[in-house]
Amino acid sequence: MKYKVWSQARAVLKPQKHHYNYFAVMLFALGFIVTLGLAIRLAVLYTQSYYSGSREPYIQSLSSNSVVIRWQSDAQVKARLELRNGINHAISEQHEKSAKTAHEMRFKQLQPATRYYYRIYQNQKLYRGGDEYWFETAPDNTSDAPIRIWLMGNSGQMGDGLKAVKQAMSGWLSQHQRQGQSALNMIISSGDNGDENGSHQGYQAGLFSVHQDVLKNYVYWPVYGEHDASGWSFYNIFSLPEAADSGGVASGTERYYSVDYGPLHLIFLDSHDGGYRADDKMISWLKADLKNNKQKWLLAFMHHPPYTRGSHNSNDPKDSANRMFNMRKRVVPVLEQASVDLVVSGYSHSYERSYLLDCHYGVSSAFKPESILQKGPKFNKPLLRQPHQGSVYIVLGSSADAVAGPFDHPVMAVSAAKLGSMVLDIEKHKLTARFIDEQAQVVDQFEINKLTGASSQVSQNGICQ
C-alpha cells in the first residue's frame, strides 16, 4: 500500500517533457523581454545623445596658457579656427582635415590674463567672428586680480524660471560693472546642466540656447549631476581637464577635476558615482590634489549636498541612494582638513547657506552647537591656511525651479524657496557672495575675509570626533 502511494506521488511530481518545454518557453520569453528592454533603452540613450542642429561657440578647459573652443554645425563642414591678438592681428590657426558637425579645437602657448579674439570659417566662409567673439585666459597663480564668478544650480530645466533668473543676473551685472574688467571671469554650475533625461536636446534647450551670449566668451565649468548621469551626452558635450590641463593634479577622468585660476583653486567632484568608499579613486585623488594646492582660496563643487532640508533631506539614507551621506561622511572631512573656504552643491531645488561650520558629519539630530565656529554674515579665517578653520556650505539648486522644504537644518543660517543664482567676487583677501533672485534682488549676502592672525579653530583643537 505504501509503495503504491509512493509510486503515485512520484508519478505526479516527476517532471514531464511538457514541463521542460513550458519552463524553456518561459525562460526564452523572459530573456527576450529583458533583451528587448535593454535594446530599447540603448536606442533611447543613443537617440538622446545625438543632436543634429547647430550650436554656437562655447569656451572650455580654459587655463592661463590654453583654451578649447567648441561648436556644432548643422551639416558636415571642414572648419578653420583663427586666433587673434587684437581684432586685426591673426597669430594662430587650426584646420580640420575632414568634414564633421561637432568641432573642437585647442590652442596652447597663450599668454596669461590676455584677451584673444577668434574667427570661425566653415568651408572657407566666415561663420562667426568680430569683436564679440573673444575670451580671456586665466591669470597666473601669483595674480591677485579681482575675479567674478556666476554660479548656477539645477539650471537645465527650460522654462520661465530659468529665463527670469538669467535676465535678473544680466541686469544686475550691467548695473554693477567692474571698472576696467569684463562682466565675468567664469560660469560654474552645481549640476543638472540639462533636462532630466540628460539628452543632447535638453542641454541645447536649457543651457546653450539660453546662455549662448555668455558661453562664447566665458568658460563654463560643470558639475556632474544625477540628470547628467541619465544619458550619454555630458562627456560628449564638455571638454574637462582630466590631465591637469587647467592646474591641480591630473585626475585621469572627466568625472572629477580641479582648476587653478589666479589665487583660486577650484575642485569639481562627482557625488553621483564617487565617494562610496573611504579609499576610492576620487578621494585618493582629492587628497593628493589638496596636498599639492598652494592657492589662497579653496572652493569645492559637488551636486549632492552634505547638508540640506529643502526639497531633499540629507538625513534620509534613502534620499539620493545615500549619496549625500557619502559626501558628508567621506568627502567633507577631507575638505575640512584642508580648510576649504566654500562648498557649493545643488540637488535640492532651493537656496540654503550655512554658518562657518566644522566637524559635523552626522545627521542633524546629532548636531553639536560647537560645530558653528562663527555665525556671520562676515566670517574671518587665517590668511595662512590651517586645518579645520571652518567652511561655508551652500545649496544652490533653484536657478530654474524653486521648491519649499522644512528648512530646519541646524547648520543653516539662511534657507529660502527662491528662484535665483549667485555671484562671487574675490578680491585679494575678501570673498563676497550674493544670492540674487529672479527680481534682481540680493536675498542673501556674506563675506569670508582672510586676515593675518585670525583664528576660528574649534574647541577640539581641530580634531573632529
> pLDDT digits over 319-348, tens only?
999 999 999 999 999 999 999 999 999 999
The amino acid at 403: V
Residues sharing a CB contact under 8 Å with residue 219, sequence separation 6 or more, in sequence order? 59, 60, 61, 62, 67, 135, 186, 187
**Neighbour tally for 146: CB within 10 Å:** 17
Give per-residue pLDDT as tens, 88-144.
788 999 999 999 999 999 999 999 999 999 999 999 999 999 999 999 999 999 999
How do beta strands 297-301 and 264-268 pair? parallel
pLDDT score at 223: 97
pLDDT score at 394: 98
Report phi then psi at 75, rounded to 5.
-145, 160
H-run or E-run covering 268: strand 264-268
**Neighbour tally for 254: CB within 10 Å:** 18
SS (H, E, C) 312-326: CECCCCCHHHHHHHH
pLDDT score at 268: 98
| Helix residue ranges per DSSP H, 14-153 | 17-48
- Which of 300, 306, 333, 334 is closest to 320 using CA atoms? 306
How do beta strands 378-382 and 442-451 pair? parallel
pLDDT score at 40: 45
What CATH architecture is 147-451?
A: 4-Layer Sandwich (3.60)
H-run or E-run covering 332: helix 332-337
Report the C-alpha gap between 453 and 434 in whole angstroms: 26
Report the C-alpha gap between 268 and 247 in whole angstroms: 12
Q: Which residue has the cell 566637524?
A: 359
Q: Are 398 and 407 spatial neighbours (Cβ–Cβ below 8 Å)?
A: no
Report the C-alpha gap between 203 and 184 in whole angstroms: 22
Report the C-alpha gap between 39 and 406 in whole angstroms: 42
Report phi then psi at 22, rounded to 5.
-65, -50
Report the C-alpha gap between 443 and 385 in whole angstroms: 30
Concatenating the DSSP letter of every residue in 146-190 gives -EEEEEE-S--S-SHHHHHHHHHHHHHHHHSPPTTS-S-SEEEE-
Report the C-alpha gap between 260 and 267 in whole angstroms: 9
pLDDT averaged over 10-residue windows placed end to end, the chain, 465 residues: 50 53 67 56 48 94 98 96 88 95 96 97 96 97 96 91 97 96 97 88 93 98 93 92 97 97 98 90 97 97 98 95 96 97 98 98 96 97 95 97 97 98 97 98 98 65 53
Report phi then psi at 60, rounded to 5.
-135, 160
Looking at residue 371, the DSSP 8-state letter turns out to be G
The amino acid at 312: H
pLDDT score at 52: 82
Beta bridge partners of 260: 265
**Neighbour tally for 20: CB within 10 Å:** 10
- Which of 129, 110, 123 is closest to 80 using CA atoms? 123
Whole-prediction pTM value? 0.89
Beta bridge partners of 55: 72
Residues sharing a CB contact under 8 Å with residue 389, sequence separation 6 or more, in sequence order? 339, 358, 373, 381, 382, 455, 456, 457
pLDDT score at 412: 98
To the nearest 10°, report the CA torsion of 34, 40, 44, 45.
40
The whole-angstrom distance between residue 338's C-alpha and the CA centroid of its chain comes to 20
pLDDT score at 9: 46
Q: Are 171 and 150 spatial neighbours (Cβ–Cβ below 8 Å)?
A: no
User: What is the residue extent of each domain of the chain?
Assistant: 2-41, 69-136, 147-451
Angle at 177 between CA 171 and CA 183, to 5 degrees: 80
In the three-class reduction of DSSP (H, G, I as helix; E, B as strand; rest coil), residue 327 is classed as helix
